[in-house]
Structure formats: C-alpha cells, structure tokens
Amino acid sequence: MLEPIDLRYRGFPRAIGVYVVETTDGAALLDCGPSTTLPRLRAGLRERGLELADIRHLLLSHIHLDHAGAAGAIVREQPELKVWVSEIGARHLIDPSRLEASARRLYGERFDSLFGELLPVPEEHVAIAEGDVLGWDAFPTPGHASHHVSYQREGTLFAGDTCGVRRLPELAVLPVSPPPDIDVEAWQASIDEIERRAPERLALTHFGVATDVPEHLARLRSELERWAGLVADGVDIEQFARLARPRAGADGAVFDEIAPFDQSWQGLRRYFDKRAPPS
C-alpha cells in the first residue's frame, strides 16, 4: 500500500509526507522535505526496514524547500544518490544561493528554524526529469511553480503541489500559491492534463493519497478560480486570509502555520501585477 512517511513538519501531523517507491533501479523517494525533518525521515525509513543508504534516487516535484530542501544534505550522506528534477530547477539545486536568498526574504528570521541547512547538490548527481524516469513518466505541470514536474506510474500520480494541499481524510483542497512564479492559466492547463491522464490515485506531499480523483480536481479547480478572483478583484491581504481560511474547515489554523494564506495572496498578487499593462 502507498503510504507517506509523515515528516511531522514543525510538529504538525499530516503536513509534509514523502513516499518510498520502487523504480527500475531500486528504491526512490518522491520528494524529501527540508533538512529540519531529516531525523524524522530517517526514523520513517527505519520503520520500513530501510536506511538512507538504501535510497538510490530522489524524484523531486519542484525545488521549494518544503519539498527539496534536504536534497544536498541527503547526497552528502548517500553519495550514490541521483537527484531528478526539472531542467529549470536543476541549476538551483547545483547552486542554491538565489533560492536561499529568495526564501530568506519571504521567511526572514524564521528561515533557519523552518528549513535548516541548504546544501548544493553536486552537478554529477543531478539528472533531468522528463519522459521515462526509471519506469515513472515525468511530465511538466507548471502553475504552482514554473519548474514543477509530476510523475505517473500505472494508476498513481505523484503531483507535488500541482494537485493542491489537502490533509486527508479532510475534503478541503487548497491551491497554495506562494511567490515568486504562480501562473493561474498554466495551473489550470496542468489540471487539464492530469484529468486527461485519468489517474486512479493522487499521492500528495501535503498530505496523503486521494482516491476520489475527479472530485478532488474539481474542488481544486474551483478554489483556484475563487482565490484568483478575489485577488484580481482587489481584496487586500487581510481580507483574503479572512475569506480563504474558513474554506479549510478545522484545518484552517494549521494551514496558516504550514502554508500561510498571506503568502498565497502575495503569490497571486504578483501574478496579476506582472500581467497588468504598463501604465
């Protein structure tokens, strides 16, 4: 059964999950979380009879630090590891200085406690995720990030953040939209492509395996349209949070901690500002 390792990010259950899967070249991780959750990752692997040394490949959906921040630290510990990532994302793994600077601007003094050490991944360990990746079909799914990739094998689709955030078994699906490169039109096109591929299950980093795929994607699409509409209509950052939070139900307060609503407003506001005609 496909079950995520719960990294208990910031102490919250069902916040970040990573998946151990088989490939044509041994065991792989789908995403890895930030360096701050490495102890929990090691413990979760041991619960499955594995060590980091047993992991031969890391398949990254994108390079946001809650998904990929520990990649360099894992390569240092497991020097045989190959890290798969989009072509756009690869250069930021090899030299994460711009990625770190951008994240530090967004998170300020909280950066180190949230994400921990950010190490470069040596270029020889990086491979481009496109087409057949060790028996998984890797294809671009931009929108949440321009460099986002999803992976599909048989009926399972691992979609990183393209399929939104949903703390299963809850029903709320949120299109978390942090800066810097949210693209609403590209995101809707990525949802179209996932619907076309008709997976039987969605393995979500945040958090769990969804089997009600058509309903999940419909809720995602609807909420993305709603959030984008709110920002396009000019609601301010505080209004946006007040209007978005209740749709998360009982998970609203947790979302504000692990994926703050104000950051989604910032990402969507930046998207519309970039599209505005010059004054």
Q: In 3-state terms, what secondary structure has residue 28?
A: strand
Length of the chain measured in residues = 279
Which regions in the chain score pLDDT beneath 70?
A: 1, 278-279
The pLDDT value given to residue 189? 97
Contact indicator for 67, 31 with CB cutoff of 8 Å: yes
pTM of the model: 0.92
Please give the share of the chain, as a percent, with pLDDT higher than 70: 99
pLDDT digits (tens, 9 = 90+) for 204-229: 999 999 999 999 999 999 999 999 99
CA angle 56, 60, 64 (to 5 degrees): 135
Q: What is the largest CA-CA distance in the chain?
A: 61
CA-to-CA distance for 24 and 142, rounded, in angstroms? 26
Helices (H), the chain: 38-47, 65-68, 71-77, 87-94, 97-107, 111-115, 184-197, 213-232, 237-244, 252-258, 261-275
Neighbours of 183 (CB within 10 A): 20
pLDDT digits (tens, 9 = 90+) for 36-54: 999 999 999 999 999 999 9
CA-to-CA distance for 12 and 38, rounded, in angstroms? 15
Task: Name residue 251's amino acid.
Answer: D
Is the domain covering 5-275 a CATH 3.40.50.880 domain? Answer: no
Q: Where are the domains of the chain?
A: 5-275
